[in-house]
């Protein structure tokens, strides 16, 4: 099969994203990877890491037709706004970070790329620059004019999708409405079929409250909101089990019979997944008209330029993007 093009965004320039991208050149790749970053930054960081890499500029006018051999990296040069020192944030480069994401996403929409893989960004420094930014997921949803997206993290043997994402805990219960739960579940079901090739996905649903509300004694959200929403979804043919207490749902007895878990909020589902697969997990944005995967860790400013980083999550992010493209 002819190799396809995938965009890789290098993320926060002072973090480990550029290091991760450079390490892609350590071996030949099965697909054509185009790193969207500053060429000067990559050359500077390669020298700091002691890596001998041929950083080749490419562009939409002349995309490469073959995957890189070991020691070579394709880059769509995107200029920095200010020079970068590894480990030192500079809010002046926030527009550069967003430009790399914009180029990748629009490239996917325009057919230049089959999918995009993202290295970590630093939300705080982007907001410090005066640019409202709550994360890749929300940014890409707006860019692609997608009304509803779903964050899902996955590692080998476990997928966890979220009904709510980056909300204060005090706001979670109010945010979980029947309409929202149904929209998120439909997206999860649809993309498990379309992007992962699972013909009849089995989804386990967490309750919101301890013991899934204990019959209403520990909260009525399960009775008043979650159970009616799930009943409607089951009538549409979606295979759902729950709501189940989260502390018992994440056990082998239940997980061996499911394709994904739907958690009600960020820290209900993700600590379990990261304990199981940290360093070998991937963040997937469901519901987009494009394929997008990401590493599951942050910018690790203290490790930038050190050579002491683990590329396992990036490897899984690449594998997952390739898998989704094949489905």
Residue among 87, 274, 63 at smallest CA distance from 283: 274
Q: How far apart are CA 286 and CA 292, in angstroms?
A: 8
Which residues does residue 216 pair with via DSSP β-bridges, in sequence order?
A: none
Residue 108 φ/ψ, nearest 5 degrees: -65, -45
- The answer on whether 106 is annotated among ligand-binding residues is no
CB 325 within 8 A of CB 115: yes
Give the pair of three-digit tokens for residue 233: 């979804």
First to last CA, the chain: 15
Per-position DSSP letters for 160-193, written without gaps between them: EEESS-S--GGGHHHH--HHHHHHHHHHHHHHHH
**Which of 282, 264, 285 lies closest to 273 in space, CA to CA?**
282
Q: Would you say 127 is a known binding-site residue?
A: no
Residue 137 annotated as part of some ligand binding site: yes
**Contact in structure between 273 and 306 (CB atoms under 8 Å):** no
The residue assigned the tokens 């489905």 is 327
- Residues 125, 23: contact at Cβ < 8 Å? no
283 among annotated binding-site residues: yes
Beta-bridge mates of residue 150? 286
276 annotated ligand-binding residue: no
Find out whether 292 is annotated in a ligand binding site: yes
Does 185 belong to an annotated binding site? Answer: no
How far apart are the C-alpha atoms of 215 and 223, rounded to whole Å?
A: 8
Helix H segments across the chain?
17-23, 39-49, 94-109, 123-128, 136-143, 172-175, 178-194, 221, 227-235, 246-249, 252-255, 266-277, 312-326
The answer to the question of whether 170 is labelled as a binding residue is no
Known binding site for substrate: residues? 136-137, 274, 283, 292
Known binding site for a divalent metal cation: residues? 166, 211, 266
Known binding site: residues? 136-137, 166, 211, 266, 274, 283, 292
């Amino acid at each position: 099969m002819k190799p396809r093009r995938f965009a890789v965004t290098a993320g926060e320039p002072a973090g480990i994203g550029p290091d991760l991208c450079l390490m892609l050149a350590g071996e030949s790749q099965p697909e054509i990877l185009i790193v969207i970053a500053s060429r000067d930054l990559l050359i500077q960081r390669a020298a700091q890491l002691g890596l001998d890499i041929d950083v080749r500029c490419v562009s939409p006018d002349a995309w490469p037709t073959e995957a890189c051999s070991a020691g070579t990296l394709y880059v769509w040069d995107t200029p920095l706004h200010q020079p970068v020192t590894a480990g030192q944030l500079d809010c002046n480069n926030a527009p550069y970070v967003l430009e790399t994401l914009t180029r990748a996403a629009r490239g996917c929409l325009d057919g230049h790329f089959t999918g995009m893989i993202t290295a970590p960004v630093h939300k705080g420094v982007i907001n410090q620059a005066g640019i409202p930014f709550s994360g890749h997921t929300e940014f890409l949803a707006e860019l692609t004019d997608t009304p509803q997206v779903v964050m899902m993290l996955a590692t080998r043997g476990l997928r966890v999708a979220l009904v709510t994402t980056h909300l204060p805990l005090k706001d979670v219960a109010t945010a979980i409405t029947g309409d929202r739960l149904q929209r998120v579940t439909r997206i999860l079901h649809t993309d498990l079929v379309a992007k992962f090739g699972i013909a009849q996905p089995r989804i386990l649903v967490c309750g919101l409250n301890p013991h899934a509300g204990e019959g209403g004694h520990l909260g009525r959200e399960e009775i008043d909101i979650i159970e009616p929403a799930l009943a409607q979804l089951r009538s549409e043919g979606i295979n759902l089990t729950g709501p189940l207490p989260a502390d018992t749902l994440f056990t082998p007895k239940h997980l061996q019979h499911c394709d994904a878990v739907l958690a009600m909020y960020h820290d209900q589902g993700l600590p379990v997944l990261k304990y199981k697969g940290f360093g070998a997990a991937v963040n997937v944005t469901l519901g987009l008209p494009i394929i997008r995967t990401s590493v599951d860790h942050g910018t690790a400013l203290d490790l930038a330029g050190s050579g002491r980083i683990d590329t396992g999550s990036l490897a899984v992010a690449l594998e997952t993007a390739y898998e989704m493209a094949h489905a």
